[in-house]
Amino acid sequence: MPRHFLDLSDAGGDAIAAMINDAIDRKAARAGLAKGKADHDVPLAGHVLAMIFEKSSTRTRVSFDMAMRQLGGNAMVMDAASMQLGRGESIADTARVLGRMVDAIMIRTDDHSKLEEMALHAGVPVINGLTDKSHPCQIIADLLTVVQHGKALPGLEVAWVGDGNNVLSSILEAAGLMKFNVRVGTPTGYEPDTEFVGQARARGSNITLTHSAVEAASGADILVTDTWVSMGQEHAASKLAAMAPFQVDDGLIASAKPDALFLHCLPAHLGEEVTQSVFEGAQSVVFDEAENRLHAQKSILRWVFGQL
C-alpha cells in the first residue's frame, strides 16, 4: 500500500514531529547553499511528482516543484482543465494512468472525495494539495514556523478568527495530534466542521467555539486567520458583512499574549481579514510561513516515499 497524505491523521503525531525535525535539519543544511542548488544529498533522485491543479496556486505549486528539484527529483504541473480530466475522463482512470508513469501525485481539487478516489486507484502516494475540506500540507509549514519561532506545540493556545474553513479544519486535526488547544471565533453560520472539532476533542484538545473575536484571541500564543472567501465560494456581500467584526487589527492582536505570532496561509486580502498594520507588523511571520512551505513539502515527500 502506498503512503498517502490525504489528511494529517494519515501520518499521525510521531510522523508529524519527525517531519518538523527533518524540515528544520534540511533547512539548516541549505544555509550557505546558493539558490537553485540541490540539497547536499538528493534522496528523491529519479523520482517524479505529478501535480494536478483544479484551482489556482502560487505557494503550493512552487514549493512542491522546488522541493522535488532540491531533493534531486522532478515535478510536472498540470492544469486539470487542459488534461482529459477536463473533458470528462474519470479520476479513477486518470489515477491508474498516472500511477503507471509517475512516482507520486499531488492534487488540488474542490471535492475531497475526488482526492480519495485518486488515492484508491493510483497505486502510488497521493498528496492533498488542498480540498474544500482540508489543507494538511499548509499546517506542517505552520507548525514548523511556530516551532522555529521558539514555541513548543503541546499546550499552545492557538486562536483562529474568521471563516471556519478548510485551513482551520487541518489546524484542528493538528491540535489533537500535537496536543495543543484552539479557540475558534467565527460569525454565526460559519463555524468549523463538527467532525474535526469532535476529533480534536476526542484526542484531548480543548476546543473553544465562540462568536466573539476578542474572546477567541484573548491570551492566545498564536493568532491565525485566512481569507473570508475561499476559492470556489460565492463572493457574497452578506458573508463579508458577517466577517467584518472578525478582522485581525491592532486591537485584536493586543488582546493576545504580547509575544503572540500572527499566521496567515496567504494569499491575504488586506483590509478584509487582516489590516496592513498587523500584516506588516512585528508579530507577523507570514513570509517565514510561506518559505516554510518549501521545507515542509520536502518532509512530506520524504514521508510518503517511506524515508521518514
- If one counts every other C-beta atom within 10 angstroms of the C-beta of residue 40, the result is 9
Phi and psi torsions of 221, nearest 5°: -85, -30
Catalytic annotation on 132?
A: no
Q: Does 213 bind ligand NVA (CB under 6 A)?
A: no
Which of ligand CP, ligand NVA, none is residue 165 near (CB under 5 to 8 Å by kind)? ligand NVA
Which of ligand NVA, ligand CP, none is residue 133 near (CB under 5 to 8 Å by kind)? none
Candidates 166, 169, 225, 284; binder of ligand NVA (CB under 6 A) is: 166
Q: Are 268 and 58 contacting, i.e. CB atoms less than 8 angstroms apart?
A: no
Q: Are 80 and 86 contacting, i.e. CB atoms less than 8 angstroms apart?
A: yes
CB-nearer residue toward ligand NVA: 9 or 230: 230
Residue 112: closest CA among 94, 133, 127, 93 = 133
End-to-end CA gap in the chain: 16
Cβ at position 189, least distance to ligand CP in Å:
24
Q: Does 62 bind ligand NVA (CB under 6 A)?
A: no
Q: Does 292 bind ligand NVA (CB under 6 A)?
A: no
Residue 182: closest CA among 151, 146, 223 = 223
Which of ligand NVA, ligand CP, none is residue 21 near (CB under 5 to 8 Å by kind)? none
Q: With contacts defined by CB under 6 A, how many residues of the chain interact with ligand NVA? A: 9
Inter-axis angle of helices 91-99 and 112-122, to 10 degrees?
40
Cβ at position 1, least distance to ligand NVA in Å:
29
Q: State the amino acid at position 261 in one-letter form.
A: L
Catalytic annotation on 96?
A: no
Subset of residues 222 to 281 that bind ligand NVA, contact rule: CB under 6 A: 226-227, 230-231, 265
Cβ at position 223, least distance to ligand NVA in Å:
17
- If one counts every other C-beta atom within 10 angstroms of the C-beta of residue 76, the result is 14
Q: Are 297 and 49 contacting, i.e. CB atoms less than 8 angstroms apart?
A: no
Which of ligand NVA, ligand CP, none is residue 308 near (CB under 5 to 8 Å by kind)? none
Distance CA 253, CA 222 (A): 9
Catalytic annotation on 108?
A: yes
Residues acting as catalytic residues:
108, 135, 138, 226, 265, 293
Interface residues with ligand NVA (CB under 6 A) are 130, 165-167, 226-227, 230-231, 265
